[in-house]
Amino acid sequence: MGAVTLPPLTVNTDPPASPFAELDELQKRGDEFAKRAMQYSLSLQSQGVRWQKGEGPGFTDCSHFVCRVLNVPYQTSHQITNSLCFAPVSSSEARAGDVMYSPQGHVGIYVGRTDSQGRWEGIDWGQRMPNGRTISKWGPGGWYRGPISFYRPLC
């Protein structure tokens, strides 16, 4: 058997357009989720939708809200913390569009910032939301107390 001739190897030495392109894309995706959460919250408020466990004509809850914003199949707040569609991230790695979870069984979408008291700001659909507020406070001194966990949507 004779030797096999291979075509010459070419190496592209041009640098990528942006070494952070993948991170930039993830950031855009997270910002889009936060924007979508705000729009959906305002839409529900304008329609007079109230908070109630489950989802039906004229009512919804936090888990349904989050799953609709992220366009993932329905999961309860507790299922989200164990789902293959969400990866846990530390609070220091959290960014806009990540899901926030409180031990009270509540979930919301992180907007990517904290307030002047260091509480994470999120958009959710809880008992406080239909009264015109759109941003909720999470963490010590906030509506939803810690420890707050963050989960990055993967699906």
Q: Is residue 149 part of a domain?
A: yes
Q: Is residue 141 part of a domain?
A: yes
Q: Is residue 15 part of a domain?
A: no
Query: What range defines the domain where residue 44 resides?
Result: 22-153
pLDDT in tens, 60-70: 899 999 999 99
pLDDT in tens, 112-127: 999 888 889 998 887 6
Number of domains in the chain: 1
**Burial environment of residue 51 by CB neighbours within 10 A (0 to 12, 13 to 18, 19 or more):** middle
Q: Is residue 1 part of a domain?
A: no
How far apart CA 31 and CA 15 sit, in angstroms, is 27
pTM (2 decimals)? 0.77
CB atoms inside a 10 Å sphere around CB 7: 5
Q: Is residue 139 part of a domain?
A: yes
Q: Is residue 116 part of a domain?
A: yes
Give the CATH number of the domain where residue 138 resides.
3.90.1720.10
